[in-house]
Chains A and B, each alone.
Chain A
Amino acid sequence: MDGVTLPRPPSARAAETLLVAFLATVTMLFAGFTSAYLIRRTGSDWARLELSPLVYVNTLVLLGASVTLELARTRGSALWPRAAALLGCLFLIGQVLVWRTLSADGQLVWHRPQGAFFFLLSLVHGLHLAGGLIALVWLLTRHARLHLVVIYWHFLALAWIYVLALLRFQ
C-alpha cells in the first residue's frame, strides 16, 4: 500500500484556475464593502473624507511596482522582482503613514464612518498586498509561476485604484 505514485505537481493551468477563483472571491469581498459603503454613505453623519496627498504618492508607488513586475515578466531579470518587492514594502509603509496623518487631523477616528471605511478598505487591501509580498519573496527563491504573481499584483493595483475612486466620488 505504501509507496504509490502520486500526482505530478499541479499543472500551470491549475494554478491559473486557482488564482482566477481566488480573485473572484476577493472581488466579491470588495463588492460587499462597496454595497455597504454606498448604503452607509446616505447616513446622517456622513462627511467628506479629505485624503492627504501622500495617498496619491502611494498609489504611484503601487503602480510602479506593477510596471516593474511587468518588466520582470517580459525582460526576465531577477532584479525587477526585487525592485517590485521594495516598492510594495514602501507602499505598505506609506499606507501606515497615511493612517497616521488622517488620525492626527481627526478624520480617522472610529465614530467617523468615512474614516472607518477608509481604514477598513485600506486594511483589507493591505493585507492582500502583504500576501502578494510573500508570494513575491517565495518567487525570488523559487523562480516559478512569475506570471501568476504579476497578475495578482496588477489586480491589487486595480483594486486600490477602485477603492480610491470609490472614496473620492462622494
Chain B
Amino acid sequence: MVERAGTGVLTAERAGPTARVEEHHAPRSFLGRYVFSTDHKVIGLQYLLTAMLMALVGGALAVMIRYQLAWPEKTVVTPETYLALVTMHGTIMVFFVVSLALVSGFGNFLIPLHIGARDMAYPFLNMLSFWTVVPGCLLMLAAFFVEGGAAAAGWTAYPPLSALKEAVPGSGLGQTLWLLAMALFIASFTMGGLNYITTILNCRAKGMTLMRMPLTVWMFFVSAVLGVLAFPPLTAAALMLLGDRHLGTSFFLPGGLVFGEEVLAHEGGTPLLFQHLFWFLGHPEVYVIVLPAIGIAFDVIATHARRPPFGYRISVYATLLIAFLSMIVWGHHMYVSGMNPLVGEYFSIATVSITAPFSVLGINLIGSLWRGQIRFTTPMYFALGIISVIGTGGLGGLYLGTSTTDVYFHDSYFVVGHFHLMIGVVTLMGTFAGCYQWFPKMFGRLMNERLGKLHFWLTFVPMMAVFVLMHYQGLSGMLRRYYDHSLFEFQTAGRALNKPITYFALLAVGGQLVFLVNFFWSARRGVRASENPWEGASMEWNTASPAPHGNFGPEDPVARRGPYEYAPQDSHQEYLPQWTA
C-alpha cells in the first residue's frame, strides 16, 4: 500500500474539463504536517488529543466535586469554587471533550475514509475550524485564573444568575470568558458541521450511494444537520446575554431586581426566554453527541459479530425521525420553570414519543447480534457495553419526559444520573470503541487487547455504579448542585450513597489512565496492523494502515456493494469487502 501511494502524482481526470489539474504533495515540514495540516486524519487526531487534554481537566474537576460531596465537613473547596467546578465540569465535558473527541475528532477522521473520499470537501475550512476551537479551550481554562473565578451559573448559564456579577462571584469576568469560549466553540462546530454535510453529500466515491454508507456516517450526517440548525439560536442568546451583562440591555432581565437593597436599572426582560433559546440547542445537542456513538456501535458490532446490522434502512429512518423530534421537544427541560403547563403537556407528549424510534435503534443494536459469530475484541466489548448503558439510561428518560413525574425528579440527582449515562457514558464508550476499532488507521498498529479489556471493566463497572446510584439518590429526593447536602434532613438517605459513589468515581477516573497508557504506548509499540486487521468490509479498510495522505491509492476507490457484506448469502467467502469487484 505504501509503495502504491508513493508512486504518485495524480491528475483530476474525473473532475471535468473546467477543473484545474492539481498536483498535490503531502506537506513535508513539521508545521504543515502536524500543526497547520489540512489532512482530515491529522485534524481528527488533533481534535482527539485536544479533547484528551480537556478531559484531564474535566476529570480532575469531577474528582474535586466528588471529594467535596463525600467529605463536606473537610471543606476542601469553598461554595464559590464548588459552583465553578460544577459549571466548568459540565461545559468542558459536553462541549470540549465529548463533542470534540466524538463529533469533531472521529467525524473528521472517519467520514472521508468511510465514504471513499480523499479528504473533506473543504480541507482549509476544516483546519480553520480546529484552530478556532483551540483559543476557545484556552479561554475556557483561563477563566479559572481571573478575579471571581470561573463561571459559576451552571453549564446552562441561566440569567439572572449568569447576567449579574452581583449574583455570584463567577458572573464577573469568568462568565464573560465562558461566553466568548462558547462563541468560538460554536463557530468551530458550525464550520465543521457545514463541512460534514457538504462532504457527505458531494464527495462520496463512485458507487457509494447514500444507502451504502455505513451507519456511522449517517449518524454523523444527522448530527451535523442538527448542530447546524440548533446552535444559531444559542448564539443569538449568547449575544443578548453579553448585551445584558455589559451594555445595560434588558433582554433577559426583568425590572425590580434587588441585590442588597440596590434595585437594578433593568426593565422588562424575561428570564424564561433564555431558557427556551438555550434548550432549543441544548436538547438537540444531546442527539448531536449520542447519535455518532450509536453509529459507531452499529459499525463495530457489524464488524465483530460478522453480520450486517439488523434493520439498516429502518435505523436510518428512525434516526431521521429522532432528529426531527429532538428539535421540537426542548421544553421538557422546563416543565417546572413557570412555562404554561398546557405547553408543557405538549412537550411531554412529543418527548416521550422519541422513545419509539429510539427503542427501534436499541432493538436493532441487539438484533445485530442475532445469528452472528461474535468475536470478543475490545471494541466489541465497548459496543456491547453501549447497548447495556442505553438500555439503562434511556428508560430513565421516561421518568423525566413525563411532565408529572418530572415535578418530583426535576433538578434531582435522578437527572444527573440519567444524563451522565446517556451523554457521558454512552458517548465516552462510543469514543473508546472507535479508538480501539480504528487505531490501525491512525497509527498502523493495534491497541493492546489485554489493557483494552481491563479498561473496559474499569470503565463500565464503576461508571454504571456511579450513575445508577445517583438515580437512587434522586428517587430519595436529593437535589443537584448542592455544595453540602447535610443541612436538609430529607437528604439524609441519599447522602449515605455519596461516599460509595465517590469511591466508584475515583476508580472510573483512574481506569482512564489505563486507556491513556495503552493509547500512547500502542501508538509507538503496538502490534503492527495489516490493512484490514478486523476483516472489515467497509471502505476504510481498503487502504494502508495508517491511512496515507490522500487516503487511497492512485485509483479512486469504487463502492460496489453495501458496507456490511458479512456472511454473504451467495458467496463462499466469509465477507465481501465493499470495494472489491
With an 8 A cutoff between CB atoms, is A3 at the interface? yes
Q: Point out the residues of chain A lying under 8 angstroms from B202, CB to CB.
A: 10-11, 13-14, 17
Within 8 A of B (CB), among A1-34: 1-11, 13-14, 17-18, 21-22, 24-26, 28-29, 31-33
With an 8 A cutoff between CB atoms, is A120 at the interface? yes
Given A4-B8, A35-B277, A25–B233 Cβ distance below 8 Å? no
> Which residue of chain B is the closest to A40 with respect to CB atoms?
B251
With an 8 A cutoff between CB atoms, is A45 at the interface? yes
With an 8 A cutoff between CB atoms, is B572 at the interface? no
With an 8 A cutoff between CB atoms, is A36 at the interface? yes
Please give the distance in Å from A149's CB to the nearest CB on chain B. Answer: 16
Q: Point out the residues of chain A lying under 8 angstroms from B16, CB to CB.
A: 11
The docked-state distance in angstroms from the alpha carbon of A58 to that of B277 is 31
Question: By the criterion CB–CB under 8 Å, are B233 and A35 in contact?
Answer: yes
Contact of A43 among B11, B197, B228, B270 (CB under 8 A): B270
> Which residue of chain A is the closest to B266 with respect to CB atoms?
A111
Query: 8 closest Cβ contacts across the A-B interface?
Result: A5-B10, A32-B233, A43-B268, A6-B24, A32-B236, A8-B12, A8-B15, A29-B232
With an 8 A cutoff between CB atoms, is A104 at the interface? no
Question: By the criterion CB–CB under 8 Å, are A29 and B235 in contact?
Answer: yes
Extra inter-chain contacts (14) besides given A4-B549, A111-B249, CB under 8 Å: A5-B11, A5-B550, A5-B554, A7-B119, A14-B122, A17-B198, A28-B233, A29-B236, A32-B277, A33-B236, A36-B240, A40-B268, A113-B249, A113-B268
The docked-state distance in angstroms from the alpha carbon of A23 to that of B266 is 34
Please encode chain B, from 72 to 95, with 1 for each CB lying within 8 Å of some chain A CB and 0 for all others: 000000000000000000000000
With an 8 A cutoff between CB atoms, is A39 at the interface? yes
With an 8 A cutoff between CB atoms, is B280 at the interface? yes
With an 8 A cutoff between CB atoms, is A44 at the interface? yes
> Which residue of chain B is the closest to A9 with respect to CB atoms?
B19
Given A4-B550, A113-B250, A28–B229 Cβ distance below 8 Å? yes
Please give the distance in Å from B461's CB to the nearest CB on chain A. Answer: 41
The docked-state distance in angstroms from the alpha carbon of A2 to that of B6 is 6
Q: Tell me if A's interface is mostly helix, strand, loop or mixed.
A: helix
With an 8 A cutoff between CB atoms, is B495 at the interface? no
With an 8 A cutoff between CB atoms, is A166 at the interface? no
Q: Point out the residues of chain B lying under 8 angstroms from A93, CB to CB.
A: none
Question: By the criterion CB–CB under 8 Å, are A116 and B243 in contact?
Answer: yes
With an 8 A cutoff between CB atoms, is A138 at the interface? no
Question: By the criterion CB–CB under 8 Å, are A11 and B197 in contact?
Answer: no
- Size category of the binding interface on chain A: 35 or more
19 contacts between A and B (CB under 8 A): A2-B26, A3-B9, A4-B550, A6-B24, A6-B119, A7-B118, A7-B119, A7-B550, A9-B12, A10-B203, A28-B229, A35-B233, A43-B250, A43-B270, A44-B255, A44-B268, A111-B250, A111-B265, A116-B249
With an 8 A cutoff between CB atoms, is B201 at the interface? yes
With an 8 A cutoff between CB atoms, is B411 at the interface? no
> Which residue of chain B is the closest to A38 with respect to CB atoms?
B273
Contact of B22 among A6, A111, A113, A116 (CB under 8 A): A6
Q: Point out the residues of chain B lying under 8 angstroms from A124, CB to CB.
A: 239
With an 8 A cutoff between CB atoms, is B533 at the interface? no
With an 8 A cutoff between CB atoms, is B267 at the interface? yes
Question: By the criterion CB–CB under 8 Å, are B554 and A36 in contact?
Answer: no
A4, A28, A110, A111 interface centre (most CB from chain B within 10 Å) = A4
With an 8 A cutoff between CB atoms, is A56 at the interface? no
The docked-state distance in angstroms from the alpha carbon of A3 to that of B235 is 41
Question: By the criterion CB–CB under 8 Å, are B20 and A24 in contact?
Answer: no
Within 8 A of A (CB), among B253-277: 255, 265-270, 273, 276-277
With an 8 A cutoff between CB atoms, is A46 at the interface? yes
Please give the distance in Å from A138's CB to the nearest CB on chain B. Answer: 13
Q: Point out the residues of chain B lying under 8 angstroms from A36, CB to CB.
A: 236-237, 240, 251, 273, 277
Given A17-B202, A32-B232, A25–B190 Cβ distance below 8 Å? yes
With an 8 A cutoff between CB atoms, is B2 at the interface? yes
The docked-state distance in angstroms from the alpha carbon of A14 to that of B202 is 6
Question: By the criterion CB–CB under 8 Å, are A5 and B9 in contact?
Answer: yes
* A positions within 8 Å CB-CB of B: 1-11, 13-14, 17-18, 21-22, 24-26, 28-29, 31-33, 35-36, 39-40, 43-46, 110-111, 113, 116, 120, 124
Contact of B268 among A14, A28, A46, A110 (CB under 8 A): A46
> Which residue of chain A is the closest to B239 with respect to CB atoms?
A120
Question: By the criterion CB–CB under 8 Å, are B6 and A5 in contact?
Answer: no
Question: By the criterion CB–CB under 8 Å, are A21 and B197 in contact?
Answer: yes
Q: Point out the residues of chain A lying under 8 angstroms from B14, CB to CB.
A: 8
Interface residue count on the B side (C-beta < 8 Å): 67
Given A14-B202, A111-B250, A4–B240 Cβ distance below 8 Å? no
The docked-state distance in angstroms from the alpha carbon of A33 to that of B24 is 44
Q: Point out the residues of chain A lying under 8 angstroms from B118, CB to CB.
A: 5-7
With an 8 A cutoff between CB atoms, is B121 at the interface? yes
The docked-state distance in angstroms from the alpha carbon of A1 to that of B117 is 18
Given A9-B20, A45-B268, A116-B243, A25–B197 Cβ distance below 8 Å? no
With an 8 A cutoff between CB atoms, is B487 at the interface? no
Q: Point out the residues of chain A lying under 8 angstroms from B123, CB to CB.
A: 7
With an 8 A cutoff between CB atoms, is B367 at the interface? no
Please give the distance in Å from A1's CB to the nearest CB on chain B. Answer: 5
A5, A24, A43, A110 interface centre (most CB from chain B within 10 Å) = A5
> Which residue of chain B is the closest to A41 with respect to CB atoms?
B268
The docked-state distance in angstroms from the alpha carbon of A1 to that of B3 is 7
Q: Point out the residues of chain A lying under 8 angstroms from B230, CB to CB.
A: 28
> Which residue of chain B is the closest to A28 with respect to CB atoms?
B232
Question: By the criterion CB–CB under 8 Å, are B233 and A110 in contact?
Answer: no
The docked-state distance in angstroms from the alpha carbon of A45 to that of B550 is 60
Within 8 A of A (CB), among B206-235: 228-235
Question: By the criterion CB–CB under 8 Å, are B248 and A110 in contact?
Answer: yes
Question: By the criterion CB–CB under 8 Å, are B26 and A4 in contact?
Answer: yes
Question: By the criterion CB–CB under 8 Å, are A32 and B121 in contact?
Answer: no
Given A25-B231, A32-B233, A45-B255, A1–B277 Cβ distance below 8 Å? no
Q: Point out the residues of chain A lying under 8 angstroms from B554, CB to CB.
A: 5
Within 8 A of A (CB), among B540-572: 548-550, 554
Q: Point out the residues of chain B lying under 8 angstroms from A14, CB to CB.
A: 121-122, 198-199, 201-203
The docked-state distance in angstroms from the alpha carbon of A2 to that of B7 is 9
> Which residue of chain B is the closest to A2 with respect to CB atoms?
B26
Q: Point out the residues of chain A lying under 8 angstroms from B250, CB to CB.
A: 43, 45, 111, 113
Please give the distance in Å from B337's CB to the nearest CB on chain A. Answer: 14
With an 8 A cutoff between CB atoms, is B168 at the interface? no
A6, A24, A26, A35 interface centre (most CB from chain B within 10 Å) = A6
Please give the distance in Å from A106's CB to the nearest CB on chain B. Answer: 15
Please give the distance in Å from A36's CB to the nearest CB on chain B. Answer: 6
The docked-state distance in angstroms from the alpha carbon of A45 to that of B10 is 66
